[in-house]
Amino acid sequence: MKDTTQKILAAATQVWNQNPSAPLKDIAEAAGVSRMTLHRHFDGRDALLEAILEEFMQRIMTVYDQVEAMPDPVMTRMEQLLRRTLDVVEAHTFLLDVFEQSGHPQACRDQIEHWEKRFAILFHELVEAGWVKPGMTVEWAHALVEGVIKASHRVRHKPGALSMPLSDAVWQAYCAAVFVDRPERD
């Protein structure tokens, strides 16, 4: 039963990454199950989307757990947070459209709030270390994470737009917006 659920979730993610409006029959076909089997596991499109969102948020939280456990300098941890978050989002690109159209779904608001608090802790370490540009707020810095990731998705599909690996371009853009070249201490 769990294997079938995972097959359906993986198929839905793959299908919706290619076509966010694809019908459930396409997902059932990609998963190698009947529509009836799909509906036994998920009571419609919203339930399937909610399960994918839950899995997505869990992966993001795992990234935070890994980054927080690193003994590395704070700037290295922030870089790893951004690059690893990009990897998770790249596997779920259709969610960018979901978030764009309807904001953060109610089903994951608590997790997003927890995520923002964890981001704030790391950001304040960067402030203390002198890395953050004057006037940059944690709210703005967090919004820019989402912004550079969304921009990377658009640019990735434009021939010749990238002269470096995507994660390098994202990190470089984020650094230019948020950080000073060298830490400034009072």
pTM of the model: 0.84
125-146 pLDDT tens trace: 999 999 999 999 999 999 999 8
Percentage of residues in the chain having pLDDT higher than 90: 58
For the chain, list the domains and their CATH numbers: 1-42 (1.10.10.60), 53-178 (1.10.357.10)
- Do 128 and 119 contact (CB within 8 A), yes or no? no
Give the dihedral of Cα atoms 148, 130, 115, 49; nearest 10 deg: 10
Please give the C-alpha separations between residue 58 and each of 15, 51, 77, 130, 131, in angstroms, as whole numbers: 21, 11, 19, 31, 29
Tokens 């989402």 locate to 146
Residue 168 to residues 84, 148, 161, 179, Cα–Cα distance (Å): 12, 11, 13, 15
Residues 6+ apart with CB under 8 A from 131: 74, 75, 179, 180, 183
pLDDT of residue 95: 81
- Confidence at 148, pLDDT banded by 50, 70, 90: very high
| Averaged pLDDT score across all residues of the chain | 88
Q: What is the DSSP letter of 107?
A: G
Q: Which of 124, 142, 126, 138 is nearest to 179 (CA)?
A: 126
pLDDT in tens, 69-80: 999 999 999 999
Bridge partners (DSSP) of residue 132 are 179
